[in-house]
Structure 1
Amino acid sequence: MPLLNHRRLYLKRLGYDSPPPPTLQTLQELQLRHVCTFAFESLSTLLHLPVPIDLPSVEQKVLLDGRGGYCYELNQMFLALLQELGFEARGITGRVVMGGPPDARTARTHRLSLVILDGVRYVTDVGFGGMVPSAPLQLDTQAVQATPHEPYRLTFHGEEGSYTMWVEVAGEWRGLYVFDLQVQADIDYEIGNWYVSTHPASPFVGQLKVARLAVGQRHTLNNTQYTVHYLGRPSEKCVIENQQALLELLQGTFGIQVPTPLSLHDLFVSDGAA
């Protein structure tokens, strides 16, 4: 069965001229290529704009309008591609704990996917900002797992049936999010997305968060604070001092076609930049 037009375009953006087979190698390549091609970004929530997460809207925004998105957009689009390629896959959700205690009971505000290949279960995630894993992770092991970037591992909490995703950064293991395998309905994603995109306590509302990976690098932008994280050497940080420099960074390094006209003046006022 031929791929739908948007899926064909998606694959072409990822460097494929024809649909690859549903294998582990393909899954690994797709995830790495995605996180190095499409930016995680929150321009819509910065500007207090709606973030529709129906698949046609997501594909229009990311594939046709040259934008990026966050987990409810990017992981949904990635899952649709996997399913059309013949992977056994479905969406799941998690609770973000990054920056706080790994056992915190936060809201379900993260979306990722479960993939089963030859009876082996994996989780795949292309929508977790600056610390997104660049490879799928085998679920039923607590061993350290290498990726093209940092090492990751999963721990299982049998009494709750949940897992914690960890990443090693600068010799320290940091908890990112806690998830389980509970089946999700569309309304579950809608509720989580509504909170992330509209609630005053959401870290995305009125904030600019952008990330994109490259070989051995992670590029992140938090409002006007731009950082390049390298493997094996110190990060480089700088403050973006004006709107023109910010627009050039978004378009160049992050590959985002910024909507025009767009004023980011308030971002510099709130961040104290010139």
Structure 2
Amino acid sequence: MPAELDHDTVTAYLRRIGAAGPAGPTLAVLRDLHARHLRTVPFENLSIHLGEPITLDPAALADKIIRRRRGGFCYELNGLFGMLLAALGFRVTRLAARTIGADGTLGIPFDHLVLQVELDERWLVDVGFGRHSTHPVGRDRTGPQDDPDGTFLVQDAGAGEVDVLRDGEPQYRLEPRPRVLADFRAGCWWHQSSPESHFTHGPTCSMYTAGGRVTISGDRLIRTTGADRTETVLAGPAELRAAYRSEFGFELDRVPVLANRA
């Protein structure tokens, strides 16, 4: 995948996630960037409920995530992160996946964007799935892989596809064919507009913290640390905007409201 970010944008991106200057493409660097991204860039669908169109144009993604310090969902987060990795010298391939429901039902084609990075072995890189792995997952490892956020398993699904499981629960089925970012436009459009997409059911914004997560879902501020969970109702737009500012570090000129799904 060719690099699509210039030097100044790469520098600003690394500053955004609190990373040091450019370093060689090693597993240690990849693991560090992956974890830092999860701790600084939220997984969120606010654009859908703010009436902001979601585009996969690299300049628009950089403006949203780097300059405005926002987050996004998989196409945005993994899309831009893949460009950063490529600019730093990593061999990156975009792959399509379909989420797997609790009943085993597969999501739509191009349901999810995952990155594959080739070093001495292939690694699955995913900073755009919400709660997932803190570090990259070995694509070709057959046994369980322990991670700070669970135990992961990559399991053969036939026809060159693999299922990625977390703590024994299937998360998504990954295709082997390399893709370009434009391939995900239809999935991106569906997820921001279809009443069948869970992203249109309400605004949410979530990010890793030390030992847990912080989430704003609708008007509720939710903190989890280990097995402990607290939930606070935020009273009105002023409290909501202040919570987005203090918890996630970005300003909203208005609060997100439920998108029209009629």
User: Is residue 109 of structure 1 aligned with residue 108 of structure 2?
Assistant: no
Structure 1 match to 2:84: 81
Please state whether the residue corresponding to 1:83 is helix, strand or coil.
Answer: helix
Deviation of the 1:141 alpha carbon: 1.8
Query: 2:162 is paired with a residue of what secondary structure?
Result: strand
Structure-1 residue corresponding to 2:44: 41
Shift of 1:239: 3.3
Give the distance between the partners of 1:221 and 1:142, measured in 2 at CA: 36
Equivalent pairs counted in the alignment come to 254
Are 1:39 and 1:255, in contact at CA under 8 Å, matched by a contact in 2?
Answer: no
- 1:152 offset after TM fit, Å? 2.2
Matched, 1:65 2:60: no
Q: Percent identity?
A: 26
Task: Give the deviation of 1:206 after TM superposition.
Answer: 5.4
**Structure 1 gaps, min length 5:** 268-274
How much has 1:181 moved relative to structure 2? 1.7
1:176 counterpart residue number: 171
Displacement of 1:248 after TM fit? 1.8
Cα separation, partners in 2 of 1:226 and 1:179, compared to 1, 3 Å: farther
TM-score normalised to structure 2 length = 0.89
- Residue 50 of structure 1 is matched in structure 2 by 53
1:97 paired with 2:100, answer: yes
* Cα deviation 1:33-77 (Å, max 9, x = unaligned): 001011111111112321011111000111112211111111011
SS in 2 for 1:253: helix
**Equivalence for 1:141:** 141
Amino acid at match of 2:163: T
Deviations 1:118-161 (A, max 9, x none): 2x1110001112x132110001123222223333222221x232
The TM-score, its normalising length taken from structure 1, stands at: 0.85
In structure 1, what is the Cα distance between the partners aligned to 2:84 and 2:107? 29
Deviation, structure 1 residue 177: 1.6
CA distance in 2 between partners of 1:40 and 1:126 (Å): 8
The whole-number CA distance in structure 1 between the counterparts of 2:205 and 2:220 is 10
Determine the structure 2 residue equivalent to 1:166.
165
| Partner Cα separation in structure 1 for residue 238 and residue 99 of structure 2 | 33
Q: Which residue of 2 aligns with 1:124?
A: 125
Q: Is contact 2:132–2:149 with CA below 8 Å preserved after alignment? A: no
Contact 2:14–2:20 (8 Å) recurs in 1 = yes
Deviation at 1:106, TM superposition (A): 1.6
Give 1:235 deviation, angstroms.
2.5
Shift of 1:12: 1.6
CA displacement 1:68-119 (0-9 Å, x = unmatched): 1111111011100111111111111111225x22x3122122111011102x
Counterpart residue number, 1:208: 203
- Listed as ranges, the matches of 1:3-42 within 5 Å are 4-42=7-45
Question: Paired residue for 1:254?
Answer: 248
Any residues of structure 2 matched to 1:187-198 within 5 Å, and which?
187-198=182-193
The CA deviation at 1:197 is 1.3
Indicate if the aligned counterparts of 2:47 and 2:54 stay in contact, CA closer than 8 A.
yes
Give the deviation of 1:238 after TM superposition: 3.5
For 1:93 and 1:215, how far apart are their aligned partners in 2?
30
